[in-house]
A = this chain, B = another copy of it.
Amino acid sequence: MATQANSVPHPTLVEVDPFMASIIAGILISQHMQPSNQDKQVFKIQCVDWTGAQIGNNDYSDDIRSIDLTKIHNLSGPIAIEGAEPGDCLVVDILDVTPFEKMPWGYTGIFELENGGGLFAKEFNSKAAKAIWDFKGIYATSRHIPGVRFAGVSHPGLIGTAPSAELLATWNERERGLIAQDPHAVPALAFAPEFKGAYIGQDLDPELLEKIKTEGARTIPGREHGGNCDIKNLSRGSRCYFPVFIPGANLSVGDLHFSQGDAGIITFSTSIIKGGVEKFALKQPIFLPSPVDPMYSAKLIFEGISVDYHGDGKQYNMDATVAYKQAALNAIAYLMKIGYTREQAYLLLSAAPVESHVGAIVDSPNACVTLALPLGIFEHDILPKEEGLEKIDFGQCAIRSDGVI
């Protein structure tokens, strides 16, 4: 008979309140161990959204506008794995990623040019905007972007081991070098250690605190340890191989994505491959994707090249970033033809399971990048038609209460 006695839930190693910033955030700690964990035990980690619950389920984007970005990313961890040593490979099975039952929504935001920026911060002179996504089982819909429903590709936006002191020093040096090229750039070129806003979460030795103040790398970009890579294919069901830089590996995770900014629960198991860094030539994590990513076989694909033809027409040399931007802007222009506002289109591309491929970076001077929009997420048929595209009024996403867009 099925009994409670023979039914042992997987333990939750980190519990958080998704309505409050969690106690661990913003800085990776390289020498501090936390709940130790047996090989191959399945366990769960709860995560607040990356902002620490700063964004609300409402119809204005004022919270996006005034967000305090010194507080990001709210992470859960680090989790030390007994026996992991520098040079080993930490194998992490991302077994599941689910939202909190009590919080069946998430959001995607466009940040202000001066506070957060983003891909098109300059091009659009971005004003805060957002879309709230309602989670309905495997699907997300939004009252702010009607007419679409998509199966989420649930994944941790940020996951990584902790760096060694040496690696941390390398990061700080190279990023400071970049900042020095244009210290007052808006948006900033990179972000130096910043103690304000950071939660360390423990009573720490004053000397260590001082080190963190000056050396604690921001979690904003992904790096050699993984980190904030936002790789949608690293989704639930994936197996990821991380390089280990310090004893215990110290795995941290957060910034869960269903749509994009979501609190939730991630289920893991871990194991160690001794000497895996050398065995697999690991300079950065490698992974096996999940067998259960959404399959929308019918797509409309947009191309872009490294010429800023949506802007000043400038020719770049094999620049895949410029090419990617053109492809995205082509997609946005198309979505506007069927009735979405520019902001809705931009938010949709940030949340839906679009796929951007590097076509080629070989034919000087133009890199070619494509962006594929799955047709199955739209309630209407958006295919090109002889008679043109039907334009529907989809309203607008959540914007600032002062109406500025």
Contact = CB atoms under 8 A, between A and B. Distances in A.
Interface of A: 1-4, 6-10, 18-19, 42, 49, 53-58, 63, 89, 91, 93-96, 98, 101-105, 117-119, 136-139, 151, 170, 174-175, 177-178, 187-191, 220-224, 226, 228-234, 236-237, 241, 263, 267, 269, 273, 275-276, 279-281, 283-305, 307, 309-310, 313-321, 323-326, 329-330, 333-334, 336-337, 355-370, 372, 376, 381, 383-384, 386, 388-389
A315 B174 contact: yes
A52 to B, nearest CB: 9
Q: In the complex, which of the residues A8, A275, A286 has the most CB atoms of chain B within 10 Å of its own CB atom?
A: A286
B237 A363 contact: no
A49 B224 CA distance: 40
Given A286-B384, A303-B284, A267 B103 contact: no
Contacts of A364: 117, 187-191, 220-221
12 contacts: A2-B263, A7-B18, A10-B136, A95-B138, A231-B360, A233-B357, A279-B384, A283-B310, A284-B309, A286-B300, A287-B303, A325-B361
Contacts of A370: 231, 233
Given A138-B237, A279-B389, A321-B321, A231 B273 contact: no
Contacts of A189: 317, 364-365
Nearest to A20: B2
Nearest to A177: B315
In order of increasing CB-CB distance, the 6 nearest A-B pairs are A95-B137, A96-B137, A320-B320, A221-B366, A230-B360, A281-B333
A322 B237 CA distance: 29
Nearest to A105: B7
Contacts of A222: 303, 305, 359-360, 363, 366, 368
A221 B363 contact: yes
B319 A229 contact: no
A288 B301 contact: yes
Nearest to A111: B362
Contacts of A18: 2, 7
B359 A229 contact: yes
A190 B300 CA distance: 30
B381 A381 contact: yes
A310 B224 CA distance: 11
A137 B42 contact: yes
Contact of A368 (B49, B57, B231, B279): B231
A294 B298 CA distance: 11
Contacts of A1: 19, 53-56, 63
A330 B284 CA distance: 8
Given A6-B58, A289-B372, A291-B294, 4 more contacts: A222-B305, A284-B302, A284-B304, A357-B357
Nearest to A175: B315
Name the residue in A175, A234, A284 with the highest tally of chain B Cβ atoms < 10 Å from its Cβ: A284
Nearest to A138: B237
B6 A313 contact: no
Given A136-B95, A298-B297, A362-B119, A337 B177 contact: no
Contacts of A221: 305, 363-366
Contacts of A42: 136-137
A269 B137 CA distance: 10
Nearest to A56: B1
A291 B378 CA distance: 13
A363 to B, nearest CB: 5
